[in-house]
Chain A
Amino acid sequence: DVKVTQSSRYLVKRTGEKVFLECVQDMDHENMFWYRQDPGLGLRLIYFSYDVKMKEKGDIPEGYSVSREKKERFSLILESASTNQTSMYLCASSLLTPGNEKLFFGSGTQLSVL
């Protein structure tokens, strides 16, 4: 079974802190994604990557950056956390093709910015 592991289940940070959310997958998937999930808004794509060192902006990239130095690891960075970035963050991975529509998600990181 594919396993997508997010390093923290819960995080509490202060406004202005730099925050790293880490995600690792063990199935050699090319694609990796970061979503945020907010009540009433569903899942919104922040960034995705289809190869090492490659990244593309999703629908809401402002205030975030990402890093993909190794195929299995995709990091989401909040350079200066703000209260409106309090959310559930979900990492996902998929094959490049075929089957790239079948996302495998981690269990999520609930981030609170105070």
Chain B
Amino acid sequence: GQQLNQSPQSMFIQEGEDVSMNCTSSSIFNTWLWYKQEPGEGPVLLIALYKAGELTSNGRLTAQFGITRKDSFLNISASIPSDVGIYFCAGRRNSGGSNYKLTFGKGTLLTVNP
């Protein structure tokens, strides 16, 4: 199947630091999404991106849809302890019968030290 390469695998940071993570693919995606999974819960959608070059913010989170449509970035500014969790990127190709399917990255585990 399609592969999304998400990095880094894990991050240990101090409260107040900024965080960056990214996802790359060898294939073009038409939609990029970022989800966050807190301990003991299912993933929750943070940001959805629909257009190449699009930059979208949600509070301290900012995500970008890469110009080549093969990558996406998520930045978190001024991290706080409740940012802890696993962050997943996901991409979708608008391709007929597979239109419902997302491809997920393997996740970035974020730990924030108070």
Contact with B along A44-66 (1 / 0, CB 8 A): 11001010000010110000000
> A85 CA to B105 CA in the complex, in Å?
21
Interface centre among B9, B33, B104 (most CB of A within 10 A): B104
Mark B residues whose CB is within 8 Å of A: 1, 6, 9, 31, 33, 35, 40-45, 48, 88, 90, 92, 97, 99-102, 104-107
Mark A residues whose CB is within 8 Å of B: 4, 31, 33, 35, 40-45, 48, 50, 56, 58-59, 90, 92, 94, 97, 100-108
Query: Which residues in B have their C-beta under 8 angstroms from that of A92?
Result: 42
- CB-based contact B40/A101 at 8 Å: no
21 A-B pairs (CB sep. < 8 Å): A4-B42, A40-B9, A40-B106, A41-B106, A42-B88, A42-B107, A45-B101, A56-B97, A94-B100, A100-B100, A101-B31, A101-B48, A101-B92, A101-B102, A102-B45, A102-B48, A103-B35, A103-B45, A106-B42, A107-B41, A108-B40
Query: Which residues in A have their C-beta under 8 angstroms from that of B43?
Result: 43, 90, 103, 105
The residue on A at minimum CB distance from B45 is A102
> A4 CA to B45 CA in the complex, in Å?
14
Closest 10 CB pairs of A and B: A105-B42, A42-B106, A43-B104, A59-B1, A42-B104, A101-B31, A101-B92, A105-B43, A42-B107, A106-B42
> A94 CA to B41 CA in the complex, in Å?
17
B87 to chain A, nearest CB (A): 11
A101-B31, A101-B102 provided; 11 other pairs, C-beta below 8 A?
A: A4-B42, A35-B104, A40-B106, A42-B105, A43-B43, A43-B107, A59-B1, A90-B42, A94-B100, A101-B92, A103-B43
A107 to chain B, nearest CB (A): 5
The residue on A at minimum CB distance from B94 is A101
Query: Which residues in A have their C-beta under 8 angstroms from that of B102?
Result: 45, 101, 103
Query: Which residues in A have their C-beta under 8 angstroms from that of B33?
Result: 101-102
Query: Which residues in B have their C-beta under 8 angstroms from that of A42?
Result: 6, 88, 104-107
Query: Which residues in A have their C-beta under 8 angstroms from that of B101?
Result: 45, 48, 58
